[in-house]
Amino acid sequence: MTAVHTGKLPRRNNYILVVFDSCRYDSFIRARPKSMRKLGKVEKRWSYASWTAPSHFNLLMGLMPHVSPKHVFASEYYKKDFLQFNERLGCSDFEFKSLVPRLYLPPFLKDTLGYETHARVSLPVLNPKTPINVGFDSFRLMASHNDMRAMVQELHFSEERPSFWMLNVGETHYPYALPDEPRDKWPVLHGVHGVFKHLDDQVVGGKLSARKERFFNQPKLDELRARQVHAVKYLDRVVEELFDLVPENTYITITADHGELFGEEGYFGHGPILHEKVLEVPFVEGKLR
């Protein structure tokens, strides 16, 4: 498969949005993926949010991770960014006002442009009962949080209608485990596993309990970052399988919802963290033929 970018697209494209959860830009670059680079140049961009759920809402509003240009009005940047959907979808008249009043891609693609709309997600915060599941013909939380290949095997495309697929991929999310890795080999960090259970356990009468966790050491954090890099290398092979499966008129965007911290300035993870590495994400896209 090779990727091409064209100014005028002859017919509407299938569109696949692949989101590597928590994958920071420099982890992606260090993995040196070959298949994904067939789509085009890998860019360093910035997420609009530092946590999975709000970032995916932004993505489904059409707000792709952004560059950070100086001396540019935000309105002009948004206009240019939304116009890129003409190439992604094979349209000629897509504008931001096309999304008004719902400001949400899936129902617009389904009801206005006639797309089939599907999502397969890895993280429970995106489960089908959350408001993110609006305008989708099918939306499923996968049985395993770390199996993109299982998602790829569920992809199907109609000959009568174009398809939109969003894939939230969990191999790059903590614990950065591949699907064939035994659970007893996964790294375990106290305070990270079962986050909702920990919240219930520690908040008593509106006050935090005295329980404190010892912070992990830097060699352990370096090991976790290496695991994320290894996950990207693995996913590059799965993406090659995706390329072989999709129809010719398919445009694919690969990015991340946010980055991750591995000990920089005392931070780990993502969410309530203000740091460039938690907003720095890879971005690459192109059309296959």
Tens of pLDDT, residues 120-129? 999 999 999 9
pLDDT the model gives residue 96: 82
pLDDT of 199 strictly over 80: no
Mean pLDDT across 46-75: 93
Q: Which residues contact 40 (CB under 8 A, 6 or more apart)?
A: 3, 5, 284, 285, 286
pLDDT the model gives residue 284: 98
17 forms beta bridges with: 166, 253
Which of the two residues, 198 and 106, has the higher pLDDT score? 106
Tokens of 11: 């017919």
Output phi, psi for 121, to 5 deg: -125, 155
Using an 8 Å Cβ cutoff, are 236 and 33 in contact?
A: yes
pLDDT of 195 strictly over 60: no
Neighbours of 284 (CB within 10 A): 21
Taking the C-alpha atoms of residue 177 and residue 161, their distance in angstroms, rounded to an integer, is: 36
Mean pLDDT across 53-65: 96
Cα dist from 217 to 188, 212, 227, 263, whole Å: 13, 16, 16, 8
The alpha carbon of residue 175 and the mean position of all alpha carbons in its chain are separated, in whole angstroms, by 17
Output phi, psi for 234, to 5 deg: -65, -45
pLDDT of 206 strictly over 60: no
CA trace torsion 219, 224, 226, 231 (10° rounding) = 170
pLDDT the model gives residue 265: 84
pLDDT the model gives residue 218: 83
pLDDT the model gives residue 203: 35
Which domains does the chain carry?
3-189+219-288 (3.40.720.10)
Mean pLDDT across 49-61: 96
pLDDT the model gives residue 201: 42
pLDDT digits (tens, 9 = 90+) for 130-165: 999 999 999 999 999 999 999 999 999 999 999 999
Mean pLDDT lowest among 75-84, 219-228, 231-240, 247-256: 75-84
Give the pLDDT band (50/70/90) at residue 208. Answer: very low
Give the pLDDT band (50/70/90) at residue 216. Answer: low
pLDDT the model gives residue 187: 84
pLDDT the model gives residue 211: 44
Taking the C-alpha atoms of residue 204 and residue 128, their distance in angstroms, rounded to an integer, is: 30
pLDDT of 198 strictly over 50: no
pLDDT digits (tens, 9 = 90+) for 67-84: 988 888 888 888 888 999
Mean pLDDT across 44-69: 95
Mean pLDDT lowest among 8-22, 178-192, 242-256: 178-192
203 forms beta bridges with: 208
Give the pLDDT band (50/70/90) at residue 192. Answer: low
Taking the C-alpha atoms of residue 138 and residue 118, their distance in angstroms, rounded to an integer, is: 5
pLDDT of 204 strictly over 50: no
pLDDT of 215 strictly over 80: no
pLDDT of 113 strictly over 60: yes
